[in-house]
Structure 1
């Protein structure tokens, strides 16, 4: 067949520059079979580098995550770093990885490029939590950090995330500078690599990190030794440090799910390794029931997120939403912090209940776009300009950070504080559910819901664009029976409800999803949310999906 669209030419050009024998064989097989459909999927345009780094399905091709991409991204990153960060070569780059397929290979490739360009590498050996890498950048005074991870994505994914010298994920204009440098990087097979170098030094940061996390404890009086916690790492990298962190705090009755405790990129016991997804808690709830645990805690595969479930008075377990965990942690921290000018930062799609809490307590509150890169960088900006001290940040997607130990979300330190809070309540025969009810009585009955649509491929991308355009071009003044005020914040569509609460709509930055966030205050929550959801989806043109 003729190559009218240049697809075969692009595939052959990529093949000539590919450095990986397995990827080359895979691509050669597709070319030999003339599999245009699969080739078109793999050459639909290069994966783009942004504030979340880069993430994609593993495989050969420009639209896939592979060694050739890692080499070019690293070359671009280091080239830009040497231009803009003082003394970057001496300060070096911290490099870590999770336990996914090819993460070990990608970590080695990244280090080989970094050292070939004359920059030191602080090497974290083995699969480790992402928060440890973020901590390490600050602790070592490094110029940047690289972690190979795809967080909670399905098994076929991997990714490459960058942290800047301040220990936070990158934001503009750094992302654009790195992307521009990647665009002019040499072909993968022409990029210099140094497989063994004296510039590489292995670093062990675990003890320093655990000491810092333990320093976040807020109540030494709580009887942690008799309080039982069930835990799952969801086949990720969190178990070792999570159990050690709670053990140092005095928790002795810890019951991890054995089948999910060792890193395994296949994630064999869960369909989606995400604590937000149905089924992720199945095995850990069984573990909790066997040992009578009042609290269940779950990390995602790179341990930067935290899910939780609580046993009620009748022995049933209730999963807490990301907003509910955020409200509980915010209340616990603000009631005990010694900071004279505490600061809390959240996102525009997270619960307004924390904002109301901060307003009533006289605490500085700010919200940002979705993503911890925005939370961390805004917190540092406000600390510098207003003299306040960041004590807590959260986003509804199970992301939390306590204090300034890690300038990113950290499911380990958040888990420690939530377990400490639960243990203190248990001494009075209460649970986190009782505390949540007290907070609702004080600040209002905020009820939230999220609706997501996964829309893949070019058609899916068009459907997401069309839905956003319809909602943007037809700004609603009323949704169901609720009066709203519509505005747009950096691409996020926001409807503030006159009766309290908020609706926000945005495309995901890391997955082919369109997300709807709905929150209301007051009675008849379920029926009101149902009506608003139906109305919104009708206008978006998604009511038939």
Structure 2
């Protein structure tokens, strides 16, 4: 360990982390040293993400330079003309993001790879957009998205504009391991610019995204936008300027931004956790909405790839919609707007089944993928043809992509689309709640919930334990179908079996006779089991919405309680 730490100290280019590490050495803080140097941050399909600090198991300039070296060498080996195609790089407003982005640019240009680097902070969708627009070999965004302030990340996109998937993740990881043992080289950015290896992306580039997104036929429903007011927060992130510009371009002139959260600030001073899904994170934007009697209280997460919304209720309070509710509303709205024939929409296997029912009822096709937007967009691209147009995809964790201008989550275009959806309903004398009830009355009230169970890290793999004794009943309901994504088999209660055409994953889905569903999957990062529940509650003709909601809540409570008790 001492030799490894000393070697790290000699390679670290950052005086601040060298000093931090030397302090740990001088104080003989073995526990902290072990934490920082037991392995290194694992590079996967989401790239890197971790706490900032000294050591191989933290985010710092040396880890970034080694990662960029590995990425650059892999790109040169895999993609023809990588040097001239180049890589686009952007970064968020966290304290180290600009430096990490500039280090990445220095490494790649030293390898002879052209770099397009944003002049200032940029929303993640602007970088994902640029890969296809500039036809680069790859893209990098330095961001930790909605993680706490002490985190940062390094997100990688492939040449198709989507997040990387296997085998590229493991291929890059192998090159990073080799780079960790090799000499690192960086080119001065001024020199890179003089040599034509560095292009700065300034206002013109930002305006290009704004113009092309604004021209999307899915974002051109200008139905009395000036009749509704909405509040907005960037949550101390990088989305405010572009969000406000896009809304203004589309005629929304009653937009009220939360001033205290508008500017980028990686310390996130007004929120405990800069994730719109966390309790309290939406409080300020809902207060802003109430002050202006706005219909919507909208938020982007700090890198603006996710979208959250709370909607005014009849009693003038605000309630946040779930990702599944927004996904269903978007699916219905966009299929009506564009016409459902030969259209393709998608969601993940843990998302609500409602989108599939909406699509089927309208004559469109809905595909499902494993969790993660990397799968949604890569599968969408593989399925889209000249006769079958991709329209929309979402995941329940507040991620949405509308159209094919950005092959990743885009919270900015989602914001515009939801505002337009709301304005259209308002012009018809309807609310978002009215539209949700219409969908529920047709397809059943779909209620979704998630719970996690902590596991003993030393216990056998929970997935194998569950497979050894598959249940025939859950919460008093017969299990009609078991989908096992590890064996890629779908088994029916009558003995029939089918092949699941998705990548292997440690996921089990139980479809119950009532139409309810249970999904279980071990966490990939923590010793816990994630459980996703869905209850589908039908309507009788004379049912009030409140009655059905109460029945669904009661059935969900029973399902969760009974299922979790069976796992203990």
Q: TM-score, normalised by structure 1?
A: 0.93
Mapped to 2, the partners of 1:27 and 1:62 lie a distance apart of 11
Mapped to 1, the partners of 2:329 and 2:221 lie a distance apart of 18
Mapped to 2, the partners of 1:352 and 1:215 lie a distance apart of 31
State the 1:89 CA deviation.
0.4
Mapped to 1, the partners of 2:133 and 2:398 lie a distance apart of 25
Mapped to 2, the partners of 1:90 and 1:328 lie a distance apart of 42
**What is the match of residue 526 of structure 1?**
553
**What is the match of residue 109 of structure 1?**
103
Mapped to 1, the partners of 2:7 and 2:110 lie a distance apart of 25
CA contact (8 A) 2:86 2:114 kept: yes
Mapped to 2, the partners of 1:58 and 1:537 lie a distance apart of 36
Mapped to 2, the partners of 1:513 and 1:154 lie a distance apart of 20
The 5 A counterparts of 1:445-460 are: 445-452=445-452
The 1:538/1:267 distance shift into structure 2, 3 A limit, reads: same
The 1:512/1:275 distance shift into structure 2, 3 A limit, reads: farther
Mapped to 2, the partners of 1:466 and 1:88 lie a distance apart of 41
State the 1:514 CA deviation.
4.2
**What is the match of residue 503 of structure 1?**
518
State the 1:312 CA deviation.
1.4
State the 1:36 CA deviation.
1.8
Q: Please list the CA deviations of residues 398-430 of structure 1 after superposition, one character each: whole Å capped at 9, or x if unmatched.
A: 000001010001001011010001111112332
**What is the match of residue 473 of structure 2?**
478
The 1:513/1:155 distance shift into structure 2, 3 A limit, reads: farther
**What is the match of residue 200 of structure 1?**
198
**What is the match of residue 411 of structure 1?**
411
Q: Please list the CA deviations of residues 353-377 of structure 1 after superposition, one character each: whole Å capped at 9, or x if unmatched.
A: 0011112222111100011110000
**What is the match of residue 422 of structure 1?**
422
Mapped to 2, the partners of 1:518 and 1:291 lie a distance apart of 37
State the 1:176 CA deviation.
1.5
Mapped to 1, the partners of 2:313 and 2:290 lie a distance apart of 12
Mapped to 2, the partners of 1:277 and 1:509 lie a distance apart of 21
CA RMSD of aligned residues (A): 1.9
CA contact (8 A) 1:92 1:143 kept: yes
Secondary structure at the residue paired with 1:104?
helix
Structure 1 range deviating more: 217-226 or 38-47: 217-226
The 5 A counterparts of 1:30-179 are: 30-179=24-173
State the 1:443 CA deviation.
1.3
Secondary structure at the residue paired with 1:127?
coil
Mapped to 2, the partners of 1:287 and 1:160 lie a distance apart of 33
- Gaps of at least 5 residues in structure 1 are 1-6
Secondary structure at the residue paired with 1:225?
helix
Are residue 23 (structure 1) and residue 50 (structure 2) matched?
Answer: no
The 5 A counterparts of 1:131-530 are: 131-187=125-181, 190-196=183-189, 197-198=192-193, 199-204=197-202, 205-216=205-216, 217-218=218-219, 220-338=221-339, 340-384=341-385, 387-452=387-452, 462=458, 466-484=461-479, 485-489=481-485, 490-509=505-524, 514-522=529-537, 524-530=551-557
Mapped to 1, the partners of 2:456 and 2:185 lie a distance apart of 38
Secondary structure at the residue paired with 1:184?
helix
Mapped to 2, the partners of 1:218 and 1:468 lie a distance apart of 43
Mapped to 2, the partners of 1:288 and 1:186 lie a distance apart of 50
Secondary structure at the residue paired with 2:302?
coil
CA contact (8 A) 1:257 1:283 kept: yes
Mapped to 1, the partners of 2:295 and 2:71 lie a distance apart of 46
CA contact (8 A) 1:351 1:448 kept: yes
CA contact (8 A) 2:222 2:250 kept: no
Mapped to 1, the partners of 2:527 and 2:50 lie a distance apart of 11
Q: Please list the CA deviations of residues 251-301 of structure 1 after superposition, one character each: whole Å capped at 9, or x if unmatched.
A: 000001001011111111111101111101111111001100011111111
State the 1:118 CA deviation.
0.2
Mapped to 2, the partners of 1:486 and 1:194 lie a distance apart of 55
Q: TM-score, normalised by structure 2?
A: 0.89
State the 1:460 CA deviation.
7.0
State the 1:304 CA deviation.
0.5
Structure 1 range deviating more: 62-71 or 208-217: 208-217
The 1:221/1:193 distance shift into structure 2, 3 A limit, reads: closer
Secondary structure at the residue paired with 1:112?
helix
**What is the match of residue 4 of structure 1?**
none
The 1:540/1:61 distance shift into structure 2, 3 A limit, reads: farther
Mapped to 2, the partners of 1:260 and 1:111 lie a distance apart of 30
The 1:509/1:147 distance shift into structure 2, 3 A limit, reads: farther
State the 1:494 CA deviation.
1.5
The 1:431/1:512 distance shift into structure 2, 3 A limit, reads: farther
